[in-house]
A and B are shown apart, each in its own frame.
Chain A
Amino acid sequence: MTREMTPMIDCTEAKSLLDELVDEQVGESSGDLLTEHDRHAIERHLERCTSCRTELRQLRDLRRATADLPEEIAPERDLFPEIRSRIAPGTVVTHPRAASHPRRWIGLAAAGLLAAGALTAALLLGRAERSPATSPRGTGLAQPAATLMADDWLVAEREYLQATDRLLSALEARESQLSPQTLAVLEKNLQVINDAIEDVRTALESDPANTQSSHILTALYQQRMQLLWTANRLSS
């Protein structure tokens, strides 16, 4: 009975229905793509046709592979600064390099600058506190050492930060040549160093004359420069 109601279809006809069949089976479109009549016809054809069965299997595999593709792909550069300049032309971008890679680098650069500002203030404050009239320890001897330390630091730190800045700029220009994995490792390490700089800076703030802290800070600045220098070499 059903045999007369669903006449045999040939491969050409069958293949034209396979797309919809696989969409019903695998896709999100739930079951109303084929008419009852077509569904019966294709199912009967598939029972006896190896070629169409193979094609259906391939289509199913393709559909599943497609479903596994990532929904998201990150662009290789930050696209927002240009969008912002188009929708809000008056917006002032304070850090020139923030325009190219704010997400990745501005935080790192800012961390250094922030630490520098606070440290400088702490050192100046420390020096003032150790002026002969208000020397907290009342020992005339500690004061010249602290002053010397502070002066050295102001110069040394400015140099470190300028050098770091240059390395960051160079790295930004070549960023695209580094693999995402390398960039991730770099960012993580920079973050660790920046955090450490923050900590030591806090320690120095409460005790600017602490030579141990200032040595550690020097080492950290050097470590950061070394890391950036290595990254620059990798990308050049």
Chain B
Amino acid sequence: MEACAIPRSEPPPQPEEQVVRARAGDLSAFEELYREHVDRVYALCLRMTANAERAEELTQEAFVRVWERLRTFRGESPFGRWLRTIAINTVLADWRSSGRLRALERGLDEMPPLASNEAASASRLDLEAAIAKLPAGARTVFVLHDIEGLRHEEIARLVGSATGTSKAQLHRARRLLREALRR
């Protein structure tokens, strides 16, 4: 009985020390945050774009945006999750500007992925390679749902599509991956 009280009695989470320092303009604290989180952000960007060079640029872009928006971060959610959402939005904004997102929203993403062989050669796993070869829309939803653990509702909100589109894309991605891995 008493054990049930534990989660409620904990104080509200405080932003970690580096976040507080970085928010005050401390560049070395921000660099520490970068070192701590960059591999996670880069993995996300690399899997979403299937292009190592683009993923590097978008990772940098995401951290620049994080720096610019640090003042708005109040620590309601963990810093890592906040950062990850910014990274996802950075990739999607890039697609939006290049018109790729419109295709993604409509679910008409027959276009081949950008330089999928780059990501494939960088990864040791067949699965990574197969993910990189997915059509962009299916890949995005697969990465966000099955790897990053977002729900269809969140994906739909971020992408600006219907939940049904996200579900259909995931279904397609999984089917293509099963086929690719059976080969």
Q: Say if the beta carbon of B108 comes within 8 Å of chain A.
A: no
Residues of B within 8 A of A27 (CB): 146
Contact B38 A75 (CB under 8 A): yes
User: Which residues 136-166 of B sit at the A interface, judged by CB distance below 8 A?
Assistant: 146-147, 149, 151
Residues of B within 8 A of A16 (CB): 171
User: Which residues 27-50 of B sit at the A interface, judged by CB distance below 8 A?
Assistant: 27, 30-31, 34-35, 38-40, 42-43, 46
Contact A62 B60 (CB under 8 A): no
Contact B64 A71 (CB under 8 A): no
Residues of B within 8 A of A82 (CB): 60
Please report the number of residue pairs spanning A and B whose Cβ atoms sit closer than 8 angstroms: 82
Majority-rule SS of B interface residues: helix
Residues of A within 8 A of B64 (CB): 83, 86-87
Q: Say if the beta carbon of B167 comes within 8 Å of chain A.
A: yes
Q: Say if the beta carbon of B109 comes within 8 Å of chain A.
A: no
Residues of A within 8 A of B167 (CB): 19
Cα A59 to Cα B171 in complex, Å, equals 10
Cα A76 to Cα B59 in complex, Å, equals 12
B52 nearest CB neighbor, chain A only: A76
Size of the A side of the interface (Cβ < 8 Å), in residues, is 31
Q: A29-B151, A63-B146, A79-B59 are in contact. Are A73 and B174 (CB under 8 A)?
A: no
Contact A69 B125 (CB under 8 A): yes
Q: Say if the beta carbon of A65 comes within 8 Å of chain B.
A: yes
Contact A70 B43 (CB under 8 A): yes
Residues of A within 8 A of B127 (CB): 65-66, 69
Nearest CB of B to A129, in Å: 40
Q: Say if the beta carbon of A58 comes within 8 Å of chain B.
A: yes
User: Which residues 47-78 of A sit at the B interface, judged by CB distance below 8 A?
Assistant: 55, 58-59, 62-63, 65-66, 69-77
- Name the one of B46, B146, B178, B181 contacting A73, with C-beta atoms under 8 angstroms: B46
Contact B34 A88 (CB under 8 A): no
Q: Say if the beta carbon of A28 comes within 8 Å of chain B.
A: yes
Q: A16-B171, A84-B31 are in contact. Are A75 and B59 (CB under 8 A)?
A: yes
Q: A65-B127, A88-B27 are in contact. Are A58 and B55 (CB under 8 A)?
A: no
Nearest CB of B to A22, in Å: 9
Please give 5 more A-B residue pairs, beta carbons under 8 A apart, in addition to A19-B170, A83-B64, A103-B35.
Answer: A55-B178, A62-B177, A69-B147, A71-B43, A88-B27
- B: residues with CB less than 8 A from A are 27, 30-31, 34-35, 38-40, 42-43, 46, 52, 55-56, 59-60, 63-64, 67-68, 122, 125, 127-128, 146-147, 149, 151, 167, 170-171, 174, 177-178, 181-182
- A: residues with CB less than 8 A from B are 16, 19, 27-29, 55, 58-59, 62-63, 65-66, 69-77, 79-80, 82-84, 86-88, 91, 103
